[in-house]
Amino acid sequence: MEIDEFIVVSSNYVPGFKAVETHGFVYGLTVRSRGLGGQIGAGIRSMFGGEIKEYVKMMEESRDEALRRMIDHAQSMGANAVISVRFDSNDISDIMQEILAYGTAVRVEKE
């Protein structure tokens, strides 16, 4: 792992690195909804059971967007890593889903 890469971990530390500054809490948030076509396709698929691929794709894209926004937030604070990263998800309505990525922005250096 090169130090010039942005580091994102779910642990409280990065092996081989030490945190030299803590910049604080950071987050990235997105709210998504399937379009009408995707909702109809997912509704039909749900009648027969099994994985609903339209929603899996939407949730994967949502997690990626929330993670990117969290990294942008951390970089704007001068961090080069985020530790203790977590995701949270909630329904806003029957057709909207909120995805939140959050953690602690830090500056790390190789030990």
* pLDDT value for 74: 97
* pLDDT value for 91: 80
- Give the predicted TM-score (pTM) of the model: 0.82
Per residue in 34-85, pLDDT (tens digit) is 655 555 555 665 666 667 777 788 889 999 999 999 999 999 999 999 999 9
* pLDDT value for 51: 75
* pLDDT value for 1: 43
d(CA 10, CA 75): 17
**Element at 109 (helix H, strand E):** strand 96-110
| Eight-class DSSP state of 108 | E
- Nearest of 14, 25, 30, 6 to residue 88 by alpha carbon: 30
